[in-house]
Amino acid sequence: MPSVTDRYDPLDAQILRDPYPVLAGLRASEPVFWHQGMQSWALTRYADCVRVLRGHDTFARDPRRTGSTVPEPSLSVQTLDPPQQSRIRSLFMTALRAQDLSALEARARRLVLGRLDAWAGAGPFDVMAEVAVPLSVAVVADLLGVEPPPYAEFAEVSDAIMRSMDGGLDPSLVEPGRIARQRLSELVDGWFTASYRPGLLERARQAGPGADPMVRLYVKNTARVMFQGGYSTMAAAVGNAVAVLLARPDVLERMRDAALLATGVDELVRFDGPVQGTTRVAVRACRIGGVEVAAGQKVVPLFAAANRDPDAFCGADRLVLERTPNRHLGYGWGPHACIGTTVAQAGLRALITALNEHPARLVAAGDGVRRRTATMRVYQTLPALLRL
């Protein structure tokens, strides 16, 4: 009988295509299991995942709480735990609330329409390269108030960073990721010496004048994390959403309804979201899902499994555009939930609105190819064409 690790290899081609049947089987038979490759306890039930994400007293995001060291460039709002995290997160959330997201959404919609105009009637194109990447870079740069880097160049850097998150499964990915992080740090350093456009970064900088050096370090590192994480998550979400819409044209048509657009963007993320999971470390021995977890062991809440848990979502394997409430884990949960959730929602609304406004009809032009990465569920290529 194959081990759980054999049955759930997140880099296996079949899992990359469709992880949900395997995750459903594990959730039913062994909802908390030890994964040898990840050296972690993997969680598949929604309730267990939420417990870990909420329980920062027991489950640490900050490795220093269990005796590990963290290089200074990695200290950000996503690494720190409360209460140390609280000031930085509050600073960025306050700055985010001051942004005009309706204007950002309108600019994003115009960008998508422009990309669609360029390809209408022109033959097959790659949705990832021509829509997902430009939209995601532009939206996150717009939010932060910085000049967007060249799309393809930044996508290359981001992809190397994202792949390196699977370094535990493939050590060859670690060094390219380190080099890419250095390139990204150089880009972010330039933002802090250049003149600012209006945006979240300038607001955050103004909110903390005279802050101690560590706070300034956290702000800079958080800006880097927001740009990289915001871009990679949104690009993956755009690709996954478009793949669903290509397979189900009726879904796009129904989302002309403003109410279904509002709830539907969250349902698309629940149904086939980008982020597959996250990692915490138990700071003390505990029991979860009937399993004893020792102090110092890692636990991995698998969002892809939790978001299809029938105990949490009625008709969990169906796309229900009107689903509400929809407390999915696509943007995380608790103190480390995605700061830019509302921005991601605005970007997806802009995408879908533009697809419905454009006179050409988007249709599939072949099968998409999934990128070989466990951390993020993302297309490498997604061919489509626009029929006039």
Cα gap 32→172, rounded to integer Å: 29
pLDDT band of residue 1 (cuts 50, 70, 90) is very low
| Angle at 179 (CA atoms; ends 160, 163), nearest 5 degrees | 20
Residue 74 is encoded by which pair of tokens? 């990695």
The answer regarding whether domain 4-387 maps to CATH 1.10.287.110 reads: no
What is the pTM assigned to this prediction?
0.94
Q: What string of DSSP letters covers 217-257?
A: HHHHHHHHHHHHHHHHHHHHHHHHHHHHHHH-HHHHHHTTS
185 vs 244: which has the higher pLDDT: 244
Mean pLDDT of 251-280: 98
304 vs 74: which has the higher pLDDT: 304
pLDDT above 90 for 322: yes
As a whole-number percent, the residues of the chain with pLDDT over 90 amount to: 75
pLDDT band of residue 214 (cuts 50, 70, 90) is confident
pLDDT band of residue 368 (cuts 50, 70, 90) is very high
In this predicted structure, which of 61-75, 99-113, 191-205, 264-278 has the lowest mean pLDDT? 191-205
Any idea what DSSP says for residue 177? Answer: H
What residue segments make up the domains of the chain, in order of their start? Answer: 4-387
Cα gap 304→19, rounded to integer Å: 8
Cα gap 338→240, rounded to integer Å: 18
pLDDT of amino acid 280: 98
Residue with tokens 């290509």: 246
Mean pLDDT of 79-97: 93
Q: What is the pLDDT of residues 147-172, one digit of tens each?
A: 898 888 888 998 899 888 888 788 89
Query: Half-sphere exposure of residue 62, counting CA atoms within 13 Å on the CB side?
Result: 15
Nearest Cα neighbor of 61 from 279, 334, 294 is 279
| Strands laid side by side in the 280-282 sheet | 32-35, 40-43, 298-301, 280-282, 59-60
pLDDT above 90 for 312: yes
pLDDT of amino acid 155: 87
Q: What is the pLDDT of residues 89-108, one digit of tens each?
A: 999 999 999 999 999 999 99
pLDDT of amino acid 23: 98
Burial of 28 (0-12, 13-18, 19+ CB in 10 A): exposed
Backbone angles phi and psi of 385, in degrees to 5: -145, 160
Mean pLDDT of 321-349: 96
Nearest Cα neighbor of 348 from 117, 166, 112, 142 is 112
Helix ranges restricted to H, the chain: 4-7, 13-17, 20-29, 46-54, 86-97, 101-119, 127, 133-144, 151-164, 174-191, 200-207, 213-247, 249-254, 258-271, 303-306, 341-357
Residue 151 is encoded by which pair of tokens? 């799309």
Residue 11 is encoded by which pair of tokens? 């880099």
Residues 6+ apart with CB under 8 A from 236: 132, 274, 275, 376, 377, 378, 379
pLDDT of amino acid 206: 73
Mean pLDDT of 298-321: 98
187 vs 301: which has the higher pLDDT: 301
pLDDT of amino acid 190: 86
Cα gap 51→368, rounded to integer Å: 35
pLDDT above 50 for 18: yes
Cα gap 240→254, rounded to integer Å: 18
Residues 6+ apart with CB under 8 A from 317: 20, 24, 308
As a whole-number percent, the residues of the chain with pLDDT over 70 amount to: 97
pLDDT above 70 for 196: no
Please state, rounded to an integer, the average pLDDT across all residues of the chain. Answer: 93
